[in-house]
């Protein structure tokens, strides 16, 4: 009873602070938010895949095979065998870390095409009510947009609200690679917004890559917009616990393990983590096993640790929060699994406190001309001497 009461108090504190600091859509969602169902199992088709012996080979189990083993398996296949797997199991191949990048892009284009067709059938089904038909029509539109020429969808899973990750740039040849790890309210329907695009993972990724090109035109870069975990909705119960981050962190680690097999940047990918995404990054960090990784956290509610040393060796932590970001008003504490711990921008946390001058609000960090965007790009490029720090 006491634990439930404390949970209600903390949720109320988060929501109240949001209302006071930013009486907008995010605050309005707080009261209506529901707990989300995590996605931790392989995508549809995985069971049939495991039992398929049509190639005369044992296919790697999507639930257990290491990306290195997946890469070795695909390296031994002929082009026609690879084509058969893409045709028969697009969702499996498209989400299989370690599989060849070009093959994943093709598989996900096929899976998205099938999802568009399914959603259109539902949108036209008179047996469904108007809300269900409208949601189906929206799903069809969102999936169709990802089929535009030139888009490189690294992962797509239609379960739940929809998971999607996209590559901007040539990931196979990039010298520097970054991964955007977004926070609450990101899913297939909010992956690439036409209105206020810099609130979306795709918009953030485009802005970061454009700034990298401005700073270092000769450097080959790639940015991954990674919505590979189920995020909280609004500021409800999920936003004040690490439950979704605990489920998302292994998926992030698997992505990074897959990138070690399918890309060869000059240093490990940098992680640019926003809002609740910083909790995911904080949860994953100790399992990076000492790799030298730049981790940038912005608009963080806490990382689930008390200081940067708890993230493990090898993590180079950079943090920023602009003065008008309402997240600074949430309680930086952790009590009985509720809350996310200390403020990463605190003077005793141990992060490098970088400038976000020019950024405004919780989602303004990727706006062109801001110190935050310039700093994210400089860090991603390894140009540490160009990073500017907070002065006040």
Per-residue pLDDT of the chain in tens (392 residues, 90 and over written 9):
444 544 454 555 554 444 333 334 443 444 444 789 999 999 999 999 999 999 999 999 999 999 999 999 999 999 999 999 999 999 999 999 999 999 999 999 999 999 999 999 999 999 999 999 999 999 999 999 999 999 999 999 999 999 999 999 999 999 999 999 999 999 999 999 988 999 999 999 999 999 999 999 999 999 999 999 999 998 788 999 999 999 999 999 999 999 999 999 999 999 999 999 999 999 999 999 767 899 999 999 999 999 999 999 889 999 999 999 999 999 999 888 899 999 999 999 999 999 999 999 999 999 999 999 999 999 999 999 999 999 87
| 167 and 152 Cβ atoms separated by less than 8 Å | yes
Q: Would you give the distance in Å from CA 28 to the centre of its chain?
A: 24
> Residue 152 falls within a domain, yes or no?
no
Q: Tell me the three state secondary structure of residue 291.
A: coil
Which residue, of 99, 134, 169, is where some domain finishes? 134
DSSP result, 130-180? HHHHHHHHHHHHHHHHTTSTT-EEEEEE-STT-EEEEEEE-TTT-SEEEEE
| Residues 174, 111 share a domain | no
| Residues 89, 170 share a domain | no
| Residues 313, 215 share a domain | yes
Instruction: Assign residue 304 the CATH number of its domain.
Output: 3.40.50.1820
| 210 and 186 Cβ atoms separated by less than 8 Å | no
Pairing outcome for strands 352-353 and 293-298: unpaired
Name the residue range of residue 23's domain: 2-39+160-386
| Residues 34, 64 share a domain | no
DSSP 328: G
Q: How far apart are CA 63 and CA 37, in angstroms?
A: 18
| Residues 248, 360 share a domain | yes
Please give the C-alpha separations between residue 174 and each of 114, 199, 286, in angstroms, as whole numbers: 31, 25, 26
| Residues 182, 60 share a domain | no
Which pLDDT score is estimated for 10?
A: 53
Strand order, beta sheet including 315-320:
152-157, 163-169, 221-227, 176-181, 270-274, 293-298, 315-320, 352-353
Residue 222's H or E segment, with its range, is strand 221-227
| Residues 359, 213 share a domain | yes
Which pLDDT score is estimated for 22?
A: 37
DSSP 233: -
| Residues 64, 20 share a domain | no
Number of residues assigned to the chain:
392
Closest CA to 319 of 302, 301, 344: 344
| Residues 352, 221 share a domain | yes
């Amino acid at each position: 009873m006491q634990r439930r009461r404390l949970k209600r108090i903390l949720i109320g504190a988060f929501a109240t602070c949001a209302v006071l600091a930013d009486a907008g859509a995010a605050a309005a969602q707080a009261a209506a938010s529901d707990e989300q169902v995590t996605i931790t199992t392989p995508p549809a088709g995985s069971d049939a895949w495991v039992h398929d012996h049509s190639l005369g080979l044992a296919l790697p189990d999507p639930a257990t095979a290491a990306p290195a083993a997946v890469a070795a398996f695909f390296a031994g296949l002929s082009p026609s065998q690879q084509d058969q797997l893409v045709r028969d199991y697009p969702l499996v191949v498209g989400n299989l870390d370690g599989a060849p990048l070009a093959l994943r892009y093709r598989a996900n284009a096929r899976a998205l095409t099938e999802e568009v067709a399914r959603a259109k059938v539902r949108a036209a089904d008179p047996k469904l009510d108007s809300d269900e038909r409208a949601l189906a029509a929206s799903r069809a539109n969102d999936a169709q947009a990802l089929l535009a020429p030139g888009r490189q969808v690294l992962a797509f899973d239609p379960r739940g609200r929809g998971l999607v990750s996209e590559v901007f740039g040539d990931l196979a040849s990039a010298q520097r690679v970054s991964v955007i790890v977004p926070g609450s309210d990101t899913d297939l329907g909010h992956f690439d917004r036409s209105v206020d695009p810099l609130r979306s993972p795709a918009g953030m990724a485009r802005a970061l890559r454009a700034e990298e090109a401005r700073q270092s035109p000769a450097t080959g870069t790639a940015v991954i917009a990674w919505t590979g975990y189920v995020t909280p909705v609004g500021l409800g119960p999920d936003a004040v616990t690490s439950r979704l981050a605990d489920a998302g962190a292994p998926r992030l680690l698997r992505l990074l393990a897959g990138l070690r097999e399918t890309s060869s940047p000059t240093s490990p990918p940098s992680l640019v983590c926003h809002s609740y995404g910083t909790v995911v990054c904080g949860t994953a960090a100790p399992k990076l096993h000492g790799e030298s990784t730049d981790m940038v956290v912005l608009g963080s509610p806490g990382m689930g640790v008390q200081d940067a040393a708890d993230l493990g060796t090898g993590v180079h932590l950079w943090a920023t929060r602009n003065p008008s970001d309402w997240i600074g008003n949430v309680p930086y504490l952790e009590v009985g699994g509720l809350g996310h711990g200390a403020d990463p921008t605190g003077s005793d946390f141990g992060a490098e406190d970088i400038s976000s001058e020019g950024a405004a609000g919780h989602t303004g960090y990727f706006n062109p001309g801001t110190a935050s965007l310039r700093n994210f790009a400089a860090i991603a490029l390894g140009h540490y001497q160009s990073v500017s720090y907070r002065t006040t």
